[in-house]
Structure 1
Amino acid sequence: MTGSQRREQLLAVGRRLFAEKGFEATTVEEVAAKAKVSKPVVYEHFGGKEGLYAVVVDREIQALLGGITGALDQGGGARRLLEHATLALLDYIEADPDGFRILVRDSPPGQATGSFASVLGDVARQVEHLLAAEFKQRGLAPKSAPIYAQMLVGMVALTGQWWLDRRGFKKADVAAHLVNLAWNGLAGLESSPPFPDNCGAR
């Protein structure tokens, strides 16, 4: 094997183990044993488990973010963009369940920091601009767009994580129901939604 081939082999082995066991439970010894190399070879290429994990995660982030960003660049109106972006996430989960497990295992969607949270933050910022323009056209306050962007992205991400282990629903059906809830909810937005006084909100 050439150096680059060995590196790719180690990445494939590490990726599989991280998906199965998580970062903490995976060891350099296991990676080396599965790749049929000595431990120093892993250290030579990645400096240790942390370096290997960082490269694996970075590749997954680029793949997921690239798919969703590409979907948002297609144009065709707000609903169409929502459909494209939802399908892009579900496509990634379907084609690459190991990669998605790696991203969400140590950084669930509701978490403020971490690899998956950073992807969702990037996507939400892109969605925010689209929503702000849509809100302005409809006479709604564009300043509320960041809140709705977070809601939309979080809803799709959490549903995608749920769908990963419950494949009783077809991908197209999951996407259709997500867009149905999101779009019809957006279509009925009130410009100043009331909040009951007796709920204790301050």
Structure 2
Amino acid sequence: MTGAERREQLIAVARTLFSERGFEGAAIEEVAARAQVSKPVVYEHFGGKEGLYAVVVDREVQTLLAIMRGSLTAGTSRIVLEQAALALLSYVEENPQGFRILVRDSPIGEASFQTILGDVASRVEGLLADTFKRTGLDAKNAPMYAQMLVGMVASLGQWWLDTRKPAREVVAAHVVNLAWNGLSGLDGDPVLYSEQPEA
């Protein structure tokens, strides 16, 4: 293997191991054993477990940010909320190992995941502020509501990671239903507006 190929192999092995055991439970010895290399090879590429973990987390952060930023396009406030819910659930579905790494209790992972959620919340905040102004609500409350909405979807993603039922679109429709209508106005059979046929 070339040096670059070996590095990619080690990152893939470590990603699986960190997903299974977390930062504290993973050991360089096991990364080396699974990759069928000696421990010094891992140290040569990453300097230690912290360096390897930082590379794995950084890649996950970049993947999730790309999905979230690419999904939050123009549209009504409700459509943007749908886009955010679907994007996060898509990441969970397509990258379960990465999502487990990001949400584990680790200083690096926690800060990174919070950074991503903060980025999404700031985009949602602007949309909520506009909606609040149009409907006569106090726009100063938009940041608080944005944090609630994004946090709800992130927490839901952790639950859904293990259940995977119902389907992503159904889960997104329900979270948007709760966020948009509140408990007193829930639809009995919610669907995403973006998936309804045009009349």
Deviation at 1:25, TM superposition (A): 0.8
Corresponding letter in the other structure for 2:84: A
Map of 1:155 onto structure 2: 152
- CA drift at 1:8: 0.4
Number of residue pairs aligned between Structure 1 and Structure 2:
183
SS of residue matched to 2:24: coil
Q: Which residue of 2 aligns with 1:193?
A: none
Q: 8 Å contact 1:107–1:116 — kept in the other structure?
A: no
Give the gaps of 5 or more residues in structure 2: 186-199
Distance in 2 of aligned mates of 1:148 and 1:107: 26
Amino acid at match of 2:136: G
Q: Contact (CA 8 Å) 2:71, 2:83: kept in 1 or not?
A: yes
Root mean square deviation of aligned Cα: 1.8
**Percentage identity across aligned positions?**
68
Q: Which amino acid aligns with 1:116?
A: F
Superimposed CA distance per residue, residues 71-110 of structure 1 (whole angstroms, 9 cap, x where no aligned partner): 11x21211111111110000000001000000111259xx
SS in 2 for 1:168: coil
State the partner residue of 2:119.
122
Structure 1: 4+ residue segments shifted above 2 A: none
- Normalised by the size of structure 1, how large is the TM-score? 0.86
Moved more, 115-124 or 35-44: 115-124
Contact 1:28 1:49 in 2 (8 A): yes
Higher helix fraction (1 or 2): 2
Which residue of structure 2 aligns with residue 47 of structure 1?
A: 47
- Aligned twin of 2:5: 5
Residue in 2 aligned with 1:91?
Answer: 90
Paired residues of 1:107 and 1:117 also in contact (CA < 8 A) = no
Report what 2:79 is aligned to: 80
> Which stretches in structure 1 are left out of the alignment for 5+ residues?
189-202
Moved more, 46-55 or 98-107: 98-107
Supply the distance in 1 between the matched residues of 2:88 and 2:137 (Cα, whole angstroms). Answer: 28
